[in-house]
């Protein structure tokens, strides 16, 4: 009789502990780490938040967001990512290549959801799009694959007038293997267009100097290469293009919204809303290595 009582007590204890554990898990507020290129939560993050709301998450009830701001300075990414790792967030969301590299070096256990312009395979971030491996998943825009099309569109916009094109970009990114502008170079050769690299350096890029160099080089149009450094100067770049009478093509719609002529790229809004699917804690935490990387 005593043994039966003890067994029933043990069973009751185990059931109680399981119920408590389930209640704690159900009531857990998960933390999402988000690294922003700019100085405050940006439009991309608002799209991510909307995607999470569409999945039923309520910020402050189901999830809390830890923001970290790079202020356009790429050398800050390792420190910002390490802060999130020390906080033991449940998932980290990142929207550029340098910060994704920093996150990959900082943790092999916390799931990382990336939204990249560059090819994550060519840059060594993941093993393949179908089987990324490790703790990284997400989406890629493959922006470089559209480089040649941007030049073609400029030629259509300026028939018979496209002599040379200036490539405005952060010199720190020019050596990246997946953003070495080979696609631009190949398209320029086919279209018989000369390219001029207009490199600027952070943290305070000399944009006026770059446009003066464009004038001296007698380029007839401009393409802006997206980067954390230049994205925060979209309005300034658009104004300078107008001032120097240079039709401008851009790798992101934010430049057109700021006054640039035209952009040709995948929708950032759609990408970040779709990224919420990968941030879905109930589905992906702990097994992101089974999630393929989506393109476009």
**pLDDT tens digits, 74-90:** 889 999 999 999 999 99
Distance CA 263, CA 256 (A): 6
Which pLDDT belongs to residue 175? 60
- What is the C-alpha separation between 234 and 222, in angstroms, rounded? 13
| 203: phi then psi, degrees, rounded to nearest 5 | -85, -10
pLDDT in tens, 198-209: 999 888 899 999
- Each domain of the chain, given as residue ranges in start order, spans 28-142+269-295, 144-263
Are 28-142+269-295 and 144-263 the same fold in CATH? Answer: yes
- For β-strands 262-263 and 248-250, DSSP reports them as parallel
Quote the pTM value.
0.71
Terminal-to-terminal C-alpha distance of the chain: 68
Quickly state the pLDDT bin for 187 (edges 50, 70, 90): confident
Report the chain's mean pLDDT, rounded to a whole number.
Answer: 81
Q: Which residue has the higher pLDDT, 9 or 190?
A: 190
- Of 23-32, 58-67, 172-181, the one with minimum mean pLDDT is 172-181
Q: How far apart are CA 251 and CA 249, in angstroms?
A: 7
Q: Please answer whether residues 137 and 291 qualify as being in contact, where contact means their C-beta atoms are separated by less than 8 angstroms.
A: yes
Secondary structure of 36-61 in the HEC alphabet? ECCCCCCHHHHHHHHHHHHCCCCECC
- The pLDDT tens digits for 219-258 are 999 999 888 788 889 999 999 999 999 999 998 888 999 9
pLDDT at 221: 95
Q: In the beta sheet, which residues pair with residue 67?
A: 34
Report the CATH fold assignment for 28-142+269-295.
Rossmann fold (3.40.50)
Query: Is CATH 3.40.50.2300 the classification given to domain 144-263?
Result: yes
Phi, psi (deg, nearest 5) at residue 229: -70, -45
Number of C-beta neighbours around residue 79 at 10 A: 12
| Closest to 215 in 3D by CA, of 166, 249, 181 | 166
């Amino acid at each position: 009789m005593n043994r039966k009582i003890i067994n029933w007590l043990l069973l009751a204890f185990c059931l109680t502990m399981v119920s408590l554990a389930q209640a704690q898990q159900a009531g857990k507020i998960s933390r999402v780490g988000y690294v922003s290129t700019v100085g405050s939560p940006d439009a991309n993050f608002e799209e991510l938040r909307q995607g999470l709301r569409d999945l039923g998450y309520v910020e402050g009830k189901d999830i809390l967001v830890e923001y970290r701001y790079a202020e356009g300075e790429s050398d800050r990414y390792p420190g910002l990512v390490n802060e999130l790792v020390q906080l033991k967030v449940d998932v980290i969301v990142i929207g550029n290549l340098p910060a994704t590299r920093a996150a990959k070096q900082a943790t092999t256990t916390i799931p990382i959801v990336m939204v990249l312009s560059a090819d994550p395979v060519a840059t060594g971030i993941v093993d393949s799009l179908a089987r990324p491996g490790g703790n990284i998943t997400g989406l890629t825009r493959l922006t470089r694959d559209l480089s040649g099309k941007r030049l073609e569109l400029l030629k259509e916009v300026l028939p018979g007038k496209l002599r040379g094109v200036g490539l405005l970009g952060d010199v720190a990114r020019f050596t990246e293997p997946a953003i070495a502008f080979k696609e631009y170079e190949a398209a320029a050769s086919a279209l018989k267009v000369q390219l001029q690299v207009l490199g600027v350096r952070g943290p305070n890029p000399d944009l006026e100097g770059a446009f003066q160099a464009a004038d001296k080089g007698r380029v007839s149009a401009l393409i802006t290469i997206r980067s954390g450094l230049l994205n925060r100067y979209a309005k300034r770049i658009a104004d300078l293009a107008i001032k120097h009478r240079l039709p401008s093509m851009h790798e992101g719609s934010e430049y057109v919204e700021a006054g640039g002529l035209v952009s040709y790229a995948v929708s950032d809004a759609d990408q970040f809303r779709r990224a919420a699917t990968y941030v879905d804690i109930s589905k992906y935490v702990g097994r992101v290595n089974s999630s393929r990387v989506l393109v476009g």
